[in-house]
Structure 1
């Protein structure tokens, strides 16, 4: 049987080159301040000219459309510019987490097939390792003076009179290799495209920070290599200025001082940073009334921390759920749905509803959608979903099913479509035949006034298969021991969910993006010999 003829003749899906948003800002608001770092400022025209010059320098060195450019750098104006310089040529921006080791960055160079590297002068070992192990990298450009490559700013000055035309790009042409965090193995390069990211920018402006204009300002408190870089694209699209902290060290007092000085209206961060910002005394010493959107992602915020932040800042919190592969575009919980008090109609524990143009499906192991209230894997489709992992067909086969991207997160939706995340599929453990989701236990433990942070993990147990272990950090000047916390939990959660052991550390390890890293916690517990299966008699006694 013949299939029906196509309704339209296929055509080239040309889209705007993403670097054009910087050109637009320069044309409309050229003399306005676009970027602030320390005491230095750059206008939109200056930024656009510097991007043209660096694009010309890269082109003179043979970088062409589709080539990958590895960028190892702390936050600075050059890193910000390098994104647009790559985009302008149709090349692919490949930023690293600057805290990664030289060997880890060398792997990213090899996995991406990078042709060039832009490296901050503080990382000579990274540049040297790349030269020794990544033959595809033909040259290195140094941010700041160093012995390992031509100086970035010298090249900008050399090519200052050059103007570069934006490369013609199609919807699926890659612009950014967004490396996953690699918490369960080697990082994978999620391919982000010009067409996809144009949708993401529009969606962020619609759902996360509506009404953003050139009168706004955004404070960067996270590495531009990750979600913060996406948010700065959004700011550029509306000519809102970007303000950096003076160094990579997170200084809470400086952050609030910059909020006051530059009348910051939005910032993107993670729950642990919101907690630090709102629990520090300086939150009460600086004017932050300009804030409209404090956007947090990466993990749901614990309810007690959420309440505290709302009382300090007012209803400015915006939560979204998303992964690098979907570029933050799965759900949103806007300010008016954040409430500092529990009560009728308050959606406690949700990460919001579907983003504009996106669809969520909760599915069982066979890919069947489950009813409201039933836990399953969170799957998503829509224009914000990435093109796939670069050169990794096995990972792509696992990540997609029937066109749905499988997030690996577990959760359920209510009758109104609000999503509740239970945890990572890899976090769930089975104890005595019962599925246990650490998130629920962590939420309860955090309501104890002495607890600042907590992570719950499933560990081997001879009787129950697996049992829970909690690792906690206390608030300053607080004391609490294992028996006291376990006694406090008795009656607050079901007995079978109560952790078998509780360990207290000064602080919990976190990734460069501020998320608690359970993989590192597990490794440390194993090193300390804390994960040996317990004696069956002891385990049985605790269940009684």
Structure 2
């Protein structure tokens, strides 16, 4: 059964709002008509160069207008958008190219070595498009767009609901990254759900600031902006600049943005932090500690929207609306990541796969139209992830009687000390309430006596506090067996490109000390 090609979201918006601004970046502004014309020509160019429906296009690019446009061009041509993390090394990018079976690559300027590595690892990748520094055997994107006639109206490829649209690579913190296959039908549901549950009332009068990579959650967020005709603004530089972000928020009356907790913390800590016109500041991608959440609420006001999700479910598991956030720690929803998203079902199960009653801690499982089609060419991973009709997230948590979900942590993060389960997130939450602790992360390490013990990696707010004072602070908050056996003090925690603090990076650094 045929479905709507996601590229039509741009087509319809350009017809409805041709002169309205679609994208702002640095000193340039593109209208919806201009952007749609560029996308149509790029889609036609891909077809002319042999990219067929279902072919994968690897995209290694910083945030830019071309990055913003390429996803729509891929979809209109019926191809699959395969974005990378732009911080990857050539070898890592080569693995993604080979694993996805990409036949073409679009690279940003300065990434010639990445293209060479991809082509060496993937003989099928015969086509490279480059932005700004194309070599003799590559195609310059701007020249290609300028030289390609715009195709006739309604040229978008026919697709069915299961046609792959996006290969969303997992972060790979527990092994090699896996390509989650997101489809046109699934992502059509996700866009509708984002509009209903995360940003109700979004229109062309709204403005969105892009402060995270378009290759991941911020790119999904941008789809809803295009669907409703809201202008997106890209930060001018490659790195997050909180001061520049607040300048743009004030100048353009930004109403929404997608963030991860580390970015939201940077924004909330900046002297210029203020509510302005913000209505929906969405944060996801990693759990946000209660102390950080309260600080952001105090600075930005009632505009925070939390969702719990992952690439395999396109961020579509739970939502905690602005009115469900509270500064009151006595509020029963404090610390929750919300309730199941509209149209999605959620369960917390034990090791035997049985649903647990409210309060029972187990693995969080989800099912519904937002769940991906499976991992590309990876039957073993699919068999492990899909059991008894549910997608198993690998996250641990519990539900309360009202259906609000509380996340304990990753199943892989839990450690057993003296026969008792210790969930690092619980310890981290308690440590962060100490005034001298700016950031922290707890990891289990082997111990001859207890099997495993916790090591707390702490970023102090000023001078490193006395470990004895931290233990005294924890005494009334946590059982003794949960207390860290050792504290280390660092200037910063190691983070992935998505702002997470993988336990594997903590262990690697601890081994080196």
TM (normalized to structure 2)?
0.98
1:365-404 correspondence to structure 2 within 5 Å: 365-404=351-390
Matched, 1:222 2:212: yes
| Other-structure match for 1:127 | 115
Q: 8 Å contact 2:328–2:334 — kept in the other structure?
A: no
Structure 2 residues without counterparts, runs of 5 or longer: none
Structure 1 position 127, deviation (Å) = 1.1
Which secondary structure does the structure 2 equivalent of 1:125 belong to?
helix
TM-superposition CA deviations, 1:259-298 (whole Å, max 9, x none): 01111000101111111111111325xxx42100110001
Which secondary structure does the structure 1 equivalent of 2:313 belong to?
coil
The structure 2 residue matched to 1:424, chosen from 394, 410, 413, is 410
Q: Aligned partners of 2:5, 2:450: CA distance in 1, in Å?
A: 56
Which secondary structure does the structure 2 equivalent of 1:312 belong to?
helix
Q: Aligned partners of 2:469, 2:149: CA distance in 1, in Å?
A: 66
| Other-structure match for 1:111 | 99
The number of residue pairs the alignment matches comes to 511
TM-superposition CA deviations, 1:173-225 (whole Å, max 9, x none): 10000000000000000000000000000000000000000000111111000
Which secondary structure does the structure 2 equivalent of 1:53 belong to?
helix
Matched, 1:451 2:437: yes
Structure 1 position 413, deviation (Å) = 0.3
Which secondary structure does the structure 2 equivalent of 1:122 belong to?
coil
Matched, 1:197 2:187: yes
The structure 2 residue matched to 1:91, chosen from 79, 86, 94, is 79
| Other-structure match for 2:241 | 251
Q: After TM superposition, which residue ranges in structure 1, 4 or more long, deviate above 6 angstroms?
A: none
Q: 8 Å contact 2:305–2:322 — kept in the other structure?
A: yes
| Other-structure match for 2:138 | 149
Q: Aligned partners of 1:516, 1:440: CA distance in 2, in Å?
A: 15
| Other-structure match for 1:159 | 148
Q: 8 Å contact 2:242–2:267 — kept in the other structure?
A: yes
Q: Aligned partners of 1:131, 1:415: CA distance in 2, in Å?
A: 54
Structure 1 position 161, deviation (Å) = 3.3
The structure 2 residue matched to 1:23, chosen from 5, 8, 11, is 11
Which secondary structure does the structure 2 equivalent of 1:282 belong to?
coil
Structure 1 position 492, deviation (Å) = 2.5
Structure 1 position 483, deviation (Å) = 3.0
Q: 8 Å contact 2:464–2:489 — kept in the other structure?
A: no
TM-superposition CA deviations, 1:326-371 (whole Å, max 9, x none): 001100000001012223x441111000100000011111211111
| Other-structure match for 2:301 | 314
Higher-Rg member (1/2)? 1
Which secondary structure does the structure 2 equivalent of 1:348 belong to?
coil
Q: 8 Å contact 1:53–1:163 — kept in the other structure?
A: no
Structure 1 residues without counterparts, runs of 5 or longer: 1-12, 529-544
Which secondary structure does the structure 2 equivalent of 1:427 belong to?
coil
Structure 1 position 481, deviation (Å) = 3.2
| Other-structure match for 1:532 | none
Q: 8 Å contact 1:389–1:395 — kept in the other structure?
A: yes
Which secondary structure does the structure 2 equivalent of 1:161 belong to?
coil
Structure 1 position 122, deviation (Å) = 1.7
| Other-structure match for 2:265 | 275
| Other-structure match for 1:77 | 65
Q: 8 Å contact 1:337–1:346 — kept in the other structure?
A: no
- The CA RMSD measured in Å over matched residues stands at 1.1
| Other-structure match for 2:400 | 414
| Other-structure match for 2:198 | 208
TM-superposition CA deviations, 1:363-415 (whole Å, max 9, x none): 11121111110001000000000000000000000000011000000001011
Which secondary structure does the structure 2 equivalent of 1:421 belong to?
strand
Structure 1 position 509, deviation (Å) = 1.2
